A and B are shown apart, each in its own frame.
Chain A
Amino acid sequence: MKNGMNFFKKGKWLFLILIALLLLPNFLKDEPYVLHVCIIVFVYVSLAQAWNLIGGYAGQISFVNHTFFAIGAYTSTMLLIYLNLTPWIGLFVGMAIAGCVAYVLGFQILHLKGHYFAVATIAFAEIVKLLFLNWRGVGAAYGLSLPLKMPSFYYLMWSSKLPYYYIFLLVAIISTILIYTIDKSKAGMYFRSIKQDEDGAKHKGIDTRYYKLLAFVISAWICALVGTLYAQYILYICPRSCMDIMISTKCILIVLFGGLGTVAGPVLGAVILIPLAEYTRIKLGGGGQGWDYIIYGLIILVIVLYQPQGVYSILRRCKKNVQKMLRS
């Protein structure tokens, strides 16, 4: 009964937040910059959730998520440019291709342990980036500028940020719910046991290879989905910007900051870190210095050294203490 009440309360909170998020743009019509930051936050919520699945739950440190992101962006853009195909189809084609690449890559390297897997993914991501930089067919270093179409739902193109806001919000919510569902499902349990002790999980009869691949592919799907939409939003993609390893790294830092292997972690991390980065960039970066990066580094270091479970666990502890206080 009590549990139920807690759930009820939590649900209500989420609902209120959702209302706020839905209504927020009405107050921000004249503040596209804030909208832009919101959109970037949503992008990183989704990407960080994707990373959370493979890294936070299944425990495989992947530095290749930005490649899937780029595959999504490139596929839909190429289809739009050459076949004039709506990004709605491109989106699924991109997801399919990213899924295939993830499957093949994962099949080959997911048996590698810990650092080896991490370094292998870095190498793969670098290879793809270098190939794209030299592949004239996909614009090489020129990148691809999306053809400006009439603003429409069909071409997923608008001149205002508002529709993008809702779309990215939707994607962020979908990915969070997806992770929540996985978290509560049997697969989530398997992922966690793989992360804790892979050999043990194998002994218990869990098909570790299958589940790791599953996490990898789903993670790639989410990244590709966000990639397509991001390309539609930013209207220009090039290997140096959307195959930058910093995208994956940022996801990792966000998840770590928020809380590894929790549903709320990536959301919290993105909501705090992305605006913080924007803020420091504007307030400190303008001085021609690198202070913002230093602050970023210090925050991560402090989190890692003193609170490796992330901010989410601090919040939970605070909540417990408050409840205790209220009770007494």
Chain B
Amino acid sequence: MDLVYLILQVIINGILIGGVYALIAVGLSLIWGVMEIVNFAHGDYLMAAAFFSFIFWSYMGLDPLISLPLVVVIFLFIGFGTQKFVMKRLIDSPTLITIAATFALSLIIRYGFFVVFKPDYRVIRDPLLQGSLHISSISIPIAKMVTLLIAIITMILLFSFLKYTKKGRAIRATAQDREVAKSLGVNVEQIFLITWGLGIACVGIAGAMLSTFYYVFPLMGVTFVLIAFASVTLGGFGSVHGAIFGGLAIGLIQQFGGTFVSPALKDVFVFGVFILVLIFKPKGFFGKY
């Protein structure tokens, strides 16, 4: 394999994994942007979604791709529930309080699944999506490719929703200036409810798609949540294209650093670049919406 192919392959790997990061990040970014809450439980929602896919597969024989709409709907309601029963009380609380609350949620979800499902590694075997496309010596895993595709579709849908619908505009307005939005008759509580629903539904999609090529394990969320934080901050919180940019950038940095320098230090590059961006461009590369 010569260098050109290698670089191409690394770019493809970076974009594919970056798509997953972007999909995880976009939900986080939405909640972060609109409510100024960093959802530390985000990774655990991801894990829960992967588990739901696994449950549908193992008990009903539904492939994750088929059960995807189901998972999305379930997670929409889980998002509503989170806002209604927990976060609603914390809307104007200091940052630390919301961090602690989402962290507590994270512990409860993570170890709830741990207690129920035991710490076994599970993989959905023989999903619809498997194998790879091989173009000369470059290989593109199909599951990841479809995930990227679904990520793109999700983000286009989300973007259009935010851009062209009344509720979407209200969400953006609330993110930009909560009080003014209120003064124009926006029911902010309802907007928060929708935001949580959408944010968690996005991570639901990510989790469901992840289950087609990653193992399902109660503690798997921890690995993804830090990367998602970095992606969101890199892109600038509260913007869909920011999350896409952040996710892809981090995927590429990780793959290039890992392949050409040292796999052990690949996350050092990610976090290093991230800190540099924070220092020199504290609001990330894209603003709010």
Complex Cα distance, B229 from A120, in Å, reads: 10
A108 at the interface (CB under 8 A from B): yes
Q: Please give the distance in Å from B23's CB to the nearest CB on chain A.
A: 19
Contacts known (A109-B278, A130-B264); A298 close to B101, Cβ less than 8 A: no
Scoring B residues 119 to 160 as 1 if CB is less than 8 Å from chain A, else 0, what string do you get? Answer: 000000000000000000000000000000000000000000
Chain B positions 109-124 with a Cβ under 8 Å from a chain A Cβ: 110-112, 114-115
Q: Please give the distance in Å from B84's CB to the nearest CB on chain A.
A: 13
Please, which residues of chain B bring their CB within 8 A of the CB of A34?
none
Find A301's partner among B86, B114, B233 (CB 8 Å cutoff).
B86
Known contacts A297-B107, A305-B90, then 10 further A-B pairs from the complex at CB < 8 Å, ordered by chain A residue: A123-B226, A123-B278, A126-B267, A130-B264, A130-B268, A134-B264, A134-B265, A293-B107, A298-B104, A298-B108
Chain B positions 236-289 with a Cβ under 8 Å from a chain A Cβ: 237, 262, 264-265, 267-268, 271-272, 274-275, 278-279, 282
Complex Cα distance, B95 from A322, in Å, reads: 34
A213 at the interface (CB under 8 A from B): no
Which A positions have Cβ atoms within 8 angstroms of B?
A: 55, 59, 61, 108-109, 111-112, 114-116, 118-120, 122-124, 126-127, 130-131, 133-134, 249, 252-253, 256, 260, 289-291, 293-294, 296-298, 300-301, 304-305, 308
Contact B279 A289 (CB under 8 A): no
Contact B233 A119 (CB under 8 A): yes
B89 at the interface (CB under 8 A from A): yes
Complex Cα distance, B93 from A252, in Å, reads: 16
B184 at the interface (CB under 8 A from A): no
Please, which residues of chain A bring their CB within 8 A of the CB of B100?
252-253, 256, 300, 304
B212 at the interface (CB under 8 A from A): no
Find B282's partner among A55, A116, A249, A256 (CB 8 Å cutoff).
A116
Find B275's partner among A118, A127, A260, A290 (CB 8 Å cutoff).
A127
Contact B107 A294 (CB under 8 A): yes
Please, which residues of chain B bring their CB within 8 A of the CB of A291?
111, 115
Please, which residues of chain B bring their CB within 8 A of the CB of A108?
275, 279
Please, which residues of chain B bring their CB within 8 A of the CB of A119?
38, 229-230, 233, 278
B99 at the interface (CB under 8 A from A): yes
Please, which residues of chain A bring their CB within 8 A of the CB of B115?
289-291, 294
Find B278's partner among A112, A289, A293, A294 (CB 8 Å cutoff).
A112
- Name the interface size band of chain B: 35 or more
Complex Cα distance, B111 from A256, in Å, reads: 21
Contacts known (A118-B38, A126-B226, A134-B264); A109 close to B275, Cβ less than 8 A: yes
Please, which residues of chain B bring their CB within 8 A of the CB of A111?
282
Q: Please give the distance in Å from A272's CB to the nearest CB on chain B.
A: 16
Complex Cα distance, B105 from A206, in Å, reads: 37
Complex Cα distance, B93 from A133, in Å, reads: 37
Please, which residues of chain A bring their CB within 8 A of the CB of B275?
108-109, 120, 123-124, 127
Chain B positions 5-49 with a Cβ under 8 Å from a chain A Cβ: 32, 36, 38
Find B95's partner among A115, A124, A304 (CB 8 Å cutoff).
A115
Complex Cα distance, B71 from A212, in Å, reads: 45
Please, which residues of chain A bring their CB within 8 A of the CB of B107?
293-294, 296-297, 300
**Which of A131, A253, A256, A297 gathers most chain B CB within 10 Å?**
A297
* Interface secondary structure of B, over-half rule: helix
B97 at the interface (CB under 8 A from A): yes
Contact B271 A126 (CB under 8 A): yes
Contact B264 A304 (CB under 8 A): no
* Interface secondary structure of A, over-half rule: helix
B103 at the interface (CB under 8 A from A): yes
B195 at the interface (CB under 8 A from A): no
Identity of the chain B residue whose Cβ is nearest the Cβ of A111 in the assembled complex: B282
Contact B233 A116 (CB under 8 A): yes
Chain B positions 46-69 with a Cβ under 8 Å from a chain A Cβ: none
Q: Please give the distance in Å from A290's CB to the nearest CB on chain B.
A: 3
Contacts known (A122-B229, A304-B100); A293 close to B110, Cβ less than 8 A: yes
Complex Cα distance, B265 from A233, in Å, reads: 31
Contacts known (A260-B96, A293-B111); A123 close to B230, Cβ less than 8 A: yes
Q: Please give the distance in Å from A299's CB to the nearest CB on chain B.
A: 8
Please, which residues of chain A bring their CB within 8 A of the CB of B83?
none
**Which of A127, A289, A301, A304 gathers most chain B CB within 10 Å?**
A304
Identity of the chain A residue whose Cβ is nearest the Cβ of B271 in the assembled complex: A123
Find B106's partner among A55, A126, A133, A297 (CB 8 Å cutoff).
A297
Scoring B residues 72 to 91 as 1 if CB is less than 8 Å from chain A, else 0, what string do you get? Answer: 00000000000000100110
Complex Cα distance, B268 from A116, in Å, reads: 18
Q: Please give the distance in Å from A244's CB to the nearest CB on chain B.
A: 12
Q: Please give the distance in Å from A177's CB to the nearest CB on chain B.
A: 24
Identity of the chain B residue whose Cβ is nearest the Cβ of A260 in the assembled complex: B96
Please, which residues of chain B bring their CB within 8 A of the CB of A124?
271, 275
**Which of A118, A133, A134, A294 gathers most chain B CB within 10 Å?**
A294
Please, which residues of chain A bring their CB within 8 A of the CB of B90?
304-305
Contacts known (A123-B271, A127-B275, A134-B264); A305 close to B89, Cβ less than 8 A: yes
Q: Please give the distance in Å from B72's CB to the nearest CB on chain A.
A: 26
Please, which residues of chain A bring their CB within 8 A of the CB of B279?
108-109
Please, which residues of chain A bring their CB within 8 A of the CB of B104?
296-298, 300-301, 304
Contact B111 A297 (CB under 8 A): yes
